[in-house]
Amino acid sequence: MSAELAPNQLPLAPLGAGDLIDRAVRLYRRHLFVLIRTAAPPVIIAALGWILFSIYFKRIFTTPDTSDLLLYVLISIAAFGITVIGYLFTLVVMGGATRTLVAHLLNNEPVTARATYAAVRARFWGLLAASFIVFVWIWISASVVTVVSYMVMLMVMALIFIATLIAPWVTAIVAILAVLLALAVGMCLFFFIVGRVAYVPQVMLVEGKGVFESFSRSFSLARGNVRRLMAMTLFTTFATYSALMILLLPLGWYGYLSGFNPMNSAEWPAWYSIAYSVIGPLSSILLTPVWMLGLSLLYVDERVRHEGYDIELMAARQLGELPDVNVSSPLGTALSAISRKAAPPAPPPPRSSGGILNLN
């Protein structure tokens, strides 16, 4: 896939981490406003939930009225649920974005938000169930990594204590190296576990598989993707927080000139709290398409590495799509139909014409 994704060129060579990020950014620049419109609905839903949660959760600890306390608790729970729904919707839309990208590679179809959401609507409930399982998987992975990190920190404390007894000046060096080691181990373990289910929405919409088949398929594809998935996540996170800081600095200066300390959340007026809560989702709207494109390219790259998907796509472009006969093979259809077609009715039995063996 070239930087311009020309209709007659499909150089889908295996991508390294830097190439993956570079091509995601190039695609983002080319389809900027379309991708922002595609990513905006789920991010806005999550943003609304987070704004409500951040406002009413603080009031739980400041209100003296018991009835208001119950109301704030219920609103906070509902807002947290809305935030989770927004993140689930993001995973759902990610599958549709991958299908749109593959259709663009295959048939040079335009990249539009309508095409993405049409694909999402066709498999919405299956995608929602799969996204919920992925979300639970991520939560369990984070819990496991937290426990492992805690155990590593206990070992770090023991090493620091021993280093203090041997030579006090060694303590700082041992502490820094141990913290870096614990951070590296935790990140590698987290992305190793989460990477197993990174391609579930993509498999459902590109290959047309069911929910549980998509998990099995994602496990088989996710071999050796830890470093590239980690690099894509770190880049997107760094870019998001950079955009957040760029947007927060003018707001902080305006708050300081208005007569309160922006570093002390207890002094924030209502308008500043709302503006502060909106800026985070705004930066996410700008950068979430890069994450979507990165995972879409990573899925295509895994198939290129393991199955020769580049040859399959080029053959489909030149010779037409292979018939979808539900054959489980890497050489099946390059892009499945969005909705499963019903099997044709069986032909009627031949009518008897009478004869020696026909007793009727």
pLDDT for residue 53 is more than 80: yes
SS (H, E, C) the chain: CCCCCCCCCCCCCCCCHHHHHHHHHHHHHHCHHHHHHHHHHHHHHHHHHHHHHHHHHHHHCCCCCHHHHHHHHHHHHHHHHHHHHHHHHHHHHHHHHHHHHHHHHHHCCCCCHHHHHHHHHHCHHHHHHHHHHHHHHHHHHHHHHHHHHHHHHHHHHHHHHHHHHHCCCHHHHHHHHHHHHHHHHHHHHHHHHHHHHCCHHHHHHHCCCCHHHHHHHHHHHCCCCHHHHHHHHHHHHHHHHHHHHHHHHHHHHHHHHCCCCCCCHHHCCHHHHHHHHHHHHHHHHHHHHHHHHHHHHHHHHHHHHHHCHHHHHHHHHHHCCCCCCCCCCCCCCCCCCCCCCCCCCCCCCCCCCCCCCCCC
What residues make up the domain containing 181? Answer: 132-222
Identify the band that residue 286 occupies on the pLDDT scale cut at 50, 70 and 90: confident
- Residue 185 resides in a domain: yes
- Residue 73 resides in a domain: no
- Residue 215 resides in a domain: yes
pLDDT at residue 353, as a whole number: 46
Q: State the average pLDDT over residues 29-42.
A: 85
pLDDT at residue 78, as a whole number: 92
pLDDT for residue 347 is more than 80: no
Give residue-wise pLDDT tens across range 199-208.
888 888 888 8
- Residue 213 resides in a domain: yes
- Residue 145 resides in a domain: yes
- Residue 6 resides in a domain: no
pLDDT at residue 360, as a whole number: 41
pLDDT at residue 354, as a whole number: 46
pLDDT at residue 341, as a whole number: 44
Q: State the average pLDDT over residues 153-179.
A: 71
Tally of structural domains, the chain = 1
- Residue 353 resides in a domain: no
Q: Which among 13-17, 203-207, 274-278 has the top mean pLDDT?
A: 203-207
pLDDT for residue 352 is more than 70: no
- Residue 151 resides in a domain: yes
Q: State the average pLDDT over residues 274-282.
A: 77
pTM above 0.85, yes or no: no
Identify the band that residue 343 occupies on the pLDDT scale cut at 50, 70 and 90: very low
